[in-house]
Amino acid sequence: MHTPHYSVLRTRLVELREAKGITQAEVAAKLGKPQSYVSKYERGERRLDIIELIAVANALGVDPVQLFAELMSQKPLLDKLESVFYRGDIK
């Protein structure tokens, strides 16, 4: 849950929610979950599986396929972050 890749995902989900002016409570209501569910995945205390991630994207009004494509387009950045995270390399 605390890998650079997952941090980018968590950050992006928060950015999308805030850009739409939606509260954690509103997302949670759309998901049929308590507000703490959203808080925990945003803070990295809870990992989302693929089915949950699709539901979150839909609750945010975001196409899950576009979200995945956006995240994959950041692969060079993610690879560099992963290098630093796992091996301590700074290039």
User: Hunting for tokens 């972050």 — which residue is that?
Assistant: 81
Tokens at 10, concatenated:
């968590």
Domains and CATH numbers, the chain: 4-87 (1.10.260.40)
Using DSSP's 3-state secondary structure scheme, residue 89 falls into coil
Phi first, then psi, for residue 73 (nearest 5°) are -70, -15
Contact 38, 28 (CB under 8 A): yes
Supply the mean pLDDT for the chain.
Answer: 86
pLDDT digits (tens, 9 = 90+) for 41-78: 999 999 999 999 999 999 999 999 999 888 878 766 55
Classify the phi-psi angles of 56: left when phi > 0, otherwise alpha if psi is within -120 to 50, otherwise beta: alpha
